[in-house]
Structure 1
């Protein structure tokens, strides 16, 4: 055994050199992938997929060469046969890994949900920072990083907020019952039109939607940029402008009826009034 080990040392040394060369070549997988892709304008996710596949191919070839050098009698056909024998056991043992791997490939291949998009999945809202073959990195609006398995994203409904450059924003406001509704509609429309961040090509829509408990409610709909910050900023400006426009028009924004907010207090007050009447 000792003589056999000494005899195989040169082969092991050559195998280690092959692995080192493989590691060096894999480091340049990005440049190799760029040469394969050429000047084609692929999505960042597809470029990462090509880079990953190139890196995997380089490591596979390097490992096969190193194994053939280090183990006498080793052949790729024998390795494939050995993998075939244990394929079922490996499949069960690494089911989740393979599932996430295939889901990652499919996510990278589809056109939607690119790197940089803001998405919402499983109640998590964030920007896609990176897509790997096993997981997707989401940077939440609070700057926290969430790492989600690709299988979860692939199976769950995904809301892509930045799929288009424009998104609709809505603001609901109530006016007094004795207010002139035509005047209120005109004031609300004029308050939003011309604001920074509001897309006037889409226009501004104002609708009276319902008779509220203490007011007639209007819904104002307008279009802004699809990024969350753009929507929040436009909504912020719209609310301030609406309040100012209604004040200038002499139209009040009533408070909700107190009885709807505090039913228990109302019952106590009614009971006290009933007792007072009985005593009288």
Structure 2
């Protein structure tokens, strides 16, 4: 009986070997098809550039089109290769086979599919394009690339953060460079004996003298509050929306306000400390020490 089992096994292995040898030409053709598919897929970017490169399409949306074209090319190539090896294979049978394991695959790759779908939606929406400076959940920087699974955010200190797309899609994202300009502000304090109307005029004139300030959008000078040692003005102006533009314009404004207040003889106070004692404190004189 043992010899019969071994013989049967040998016959099966021999049959499988013969079948494999018989199908070698089909495998070779399928391999050639996959190789050609790989070559065409590499040109997916060029295909998208030829079709949409001369339009006003956003870079993130163009990336999505390139990816979809590449994926469609691979799906078509794999299907052709599969039908060469298995002639009885049809689109209906493929869909039926995918349907059997769709639930299990969905649970196993839930995070991947979530990021994939979020990536598609991020690429489609108009806001937050490549090059924008954003902040989300404590992560801030310039959007360097948007892929189907993650987004690369380059910090202003040059480190790169790889952010899952689902995080950017489900949480509020602050886009600093959505417009070319934004409003900046700084607080300037003057002493209590200062004529506030005169101080406001001096500060406004100083801010208007800065070439990095967009005076066409207006300058706001508001008396803000009574501070411990000063009356504070809230100074607001418009300048570029990038972080560097904000730093440069703020540097100019602070320097100009300080110079103008000094020239006008207006004091910029520092905190004063007054000590009050319940009992008189005797003060020793130089003669007592002698």
How far does residue 91 in structure 1 lie from its aligned partner after superposition?
0.6
Aligned CA distance change for structure 1 residues 81 and 191 (closer, same or farther; 3 Å)? same
How far does residue 274 in structure 1 lie from its aligned partner after superposition?
5.8
Residues in 1 aligned to 2:74 and 2:212: alpha-carbon distance in whole angstroms: 50
Residues in 2 aligned to 1:125 and 1:276: alpha-carbon distance in whole angstroms: 56
Aligned ranges 1:205-216 → 2 under 5 Å: 205-216=220-231
Pair 1:50-2:28 in alignment = no
Pair 1:164-2:179 in alignment = yes
How far does residue 194 in structure 1 lie from its aligned partner after superposition?
2.5
Counterpart selection for 1:34 from 36, 49, 54: 49
Residues in 2 aligned to 1:159 and 1:257: alpha-carbon distance in whole angstroms: 39
Counterpart selection for 1:184 from 199, 210, 222: 199
Pair 1:126-2:141 in alignment = yes
Aligned CA distance change for structure 1 residues 205 and 85 (closer, same or farther; 3 Å)? same
Say which SS state the counterpart of residue 23 (structure 2) adopts: helix
Which residue is 2:74 aligned to?
Answer: 59
Residues in 2 aligned to 1:52 and 1:203: alpha-carbon distance in whole angstroms: 45
Aligned ranges 1:1-280 → 2 under 5 Å: 1-37=16-52, 39-258=54-273
Residues in 1 aligned to 2:55 and 2:229: alpha-carbon distance in whole angstroms: 61
How far does residue 10 in structure 1 lie from its aligned partner after superposition?
1.5
**Contact 1:176 1:214 survives alignment (8 Å):** yes
**Contact 1:194 1:200 survives alignment (8 Å):** no
1:20-53 Cα deviation digits (max 9, x unpaired): 1000000110121233336321111111111111
How far does residue 70 in structure 1 lie from its aligned partner after superposition?
2.2
Aligned CA distance change for structure 1 residues 253 and 38 (closer, same or farther; 3 Å)? closer
Residues in 2 aligned to 1:16 and 1:9: alpha-carbon distance in whole angstroms: 10
Matched residues, number: 267
Say which SS state the counterpart of residue 223 (structure 1) adopts: strand
Q: TM-score of the superposition, structure 1-length normalised?
A: 0.91
How far does residue 126 in structure 1 lie from its aligned partner after superposition?
0.7
Say what the alpha-carbon RMSD is for the aligned residues. 1.8
1:202-231 Cα deviation digits (max 9, x unpaired): 121111111111100011100000111001
Say which SS state the counterpart of residue 138 (structure 1) adopts: strand
How far does residue 73 in structure 1 lie from its aligned partner after superposition?
2.6
Residues in 2 aligned to 1:65 and 1:191: alpha-carbon distance in whole angstroms: 72
Structure with greater Cα Rg:
2
Say which SS state the counterpart of residue 217 (structure 2) adopts: coil
1:127-172 Cα deviation digits (max 9, x unpaired): 1111111111111111110110111000000101011111001010
**Contact 1:18 1:62 survives alignment (8 Å):** yes
Say which SS state the counterpart of residue 142 (structure 2) adopts: strand
Say which SS state the counterpart of residue 254 (structure 2) adopts: helix
Gaps of 5+ in 1: 260-265
Aligned CA distance change for structure 1 residues 276 and 8 (closer, same or farther; 3 Å)? same
